[in-house]
Structure 1
Amino acid sequence: MPQPHARSDDDRFGFDETTNYLTRALSRLVPGWLARRAVTVSVDTSKRVYRRGEPVDIVVEFENRLPVPVSVPTVERRLWEWRVDGVLEATDEPRYVDRSPASFEFRGGERKRIVHRWNGHFWRAEGLDGLPTSEPAAAGEHTIAVSLTTTEPGERPGDATTITVR
């Protein structure tokens, strides 16, 4: 079973990377619209059926299909996002996100893989008693979707998978 990626303070996007200035310079030659189309996103889980409240390992892979470096512009510091049934990070709690533009950089043909663990619960900013609460996902099918946070919402590279909670 895949293990979650341990993030360090200097790895704030979930990927171990060093700055490659040649890659950064060459990626500027590829227009943003082409870079968005060159990067594919796939999402999978370690199982298809989970018990109610059981953690789910979400396996995400990004791939640059071009043999040249690309830089995908994003609208915020969060380079990619995950949703469960359309709920960002399985919470309705407002999140502070740095709205400064960033870019997701790839070397030619590079694949980036991360395993993120969702605890199987939805966080509600206000429960029945007005206090924050965590609820296990209800029994039934749930869709887990992942996408890049690019400038064009209709053209965001992404993928989705479905799990069943019993």
Structure 2
Amino acid sequence: MRRIYESEALHRDDEEQFTPNQRRSETPFQAMPSVNTTALSRRLLPNWLRNRAVSVSVSTPREEFPLGTTIPFRVTMANALPVPVTFRTRSPILWTWDIDGETKATRTQIREPPDEPGEFRFERGERKRFKRRWKQLFRVSASEWTPAEPGEYTIGAGLNVDNAVQRGLYDQTTVRVSDA
């Protein structure tokens, strides 16, 4: 495109409606370079303020489910501040969910997450929603699952950070599985 404009191959006329206008030689005003808000959040916001700014909640459509049915749940994370907030996570897995303390309803270690840290970023006022389902099964090996017994189970979710419960970055709800 630049060659066409420099070669004057186009007919230019300011008065004719469907021809391009004369090209201005001065450069237009350029926007300011963007600010690295992740680094700014880490340097300016104290940890206690970051922890209070982001809320985590877990919800289910009902409290009681028949045995053998899938239990849907929603995890909502919201940043209440008008500035971006960034959390350094333990691994590239930014958040986790669990059933009665068993991560992803797994009673065995299938694979280790990488040791490198990750970053979970919330834009100003951002709300993140995640939908997951628990099929009332617990994984006991790479290829074996056991069904859940009737009773009460706690579904929890939180950011993958150290001391997420104490920092207020974790929530849980209780559901009841009945024989119907």
Give the structure-2-normalised TM-score: 0.71
Residue of structure 1 aligned with 2:115, choices 99, 103, 110: 99
Which stretch has the larger CA shift, 33-42 or 23-32? 23-32
Provide the rounded CA distance (Å) in 2 between the counterparts of 1:49 and 1:31: 40
Partners of 2:68 and 2:135 within 8 A in 1:
yes
* Structure 1 gap ranges (5+): 1-19, 126-130
Equivalent pairs counted in the alignment come to: 142
The residue type equivalent to 2:174 in the other structure is T
CA apart distance, 1:25 = 4.6
The equivalent residue for 2:124 is 108
Identity %, equivalent residues: 39
Distance 1:76 1:53 in 2: 33
- CA deviation after TM superposition for structure 1 residue 21, in Å: 6.7
Gaps of 5+ in 2: 1-33
d(CA) in 2 for partners of 1:37, 1:101: 22
**Which amino acid counterpart does residue 93 of structure 1 have in structure 2?**
T
Spell out, residue by residue over 1:44-96, the C-alpha distance to the aligned partner (whole angstroms, 9 max, x if none).
11222112221111100001111111001111111111111111110112132
Amino acid at match of 1:73: R
Change (3 A) 1:21 1:76: farther
Contact 2:58/2:156 (<8 A) preserved: yes
Write the distance in 1 (CA, Å) between the matches of 2:170 and 2:157: 5
Cα 1:135–1:43 shift into 2, 3 Å: same
Structure 2: distance between partners of 1:38 and 1:59: 20
Q: Deviations over 1:120-154 (max 9, x none)?
A: 111112xxxxx952122110111111111113343
Distance 1:33 1:72, change over 3 A: farther
Higher relative contact order (CA 8 A, sep 6+): 1
Q: Which residues in structure 2 correspond to 1:17-166 (within 5 Å)?
A: 22-28=36-42, 29-94=44-109, 95-125=111-141, 132-153=143-164, 154-155=166-167, 157-166=169-178
Provide the rounded CA distance (Å) in 1 between the counterparts of 2:163 and 2:95: 13
Structure 1 SS opposite 2:68 = coil
> Once the 2 structures are TM-superposed, how far is the Cα of residue 23 of structure 1 from its aligned partner?
4.0
Structure 1 residues 84 and 109 mapped into 2: Cα distance closer, same or farther (>3 Å)? Answer: same
Shift of 1:117: 1.4
- Of residues 30-39 and 40-49 in structure 1, the stretch that sits farther from structure 2 once superposed is 30-39
Superposed CA deviations along residues 11-35 of structure 1, whole A, max 9, x for unmatched, are xxxxxxxxx9754354333234422
CA contact (8 A) 2:41 2:84 kept: yes
1:111 & 1:162 partners in 2: Cα distance?
23
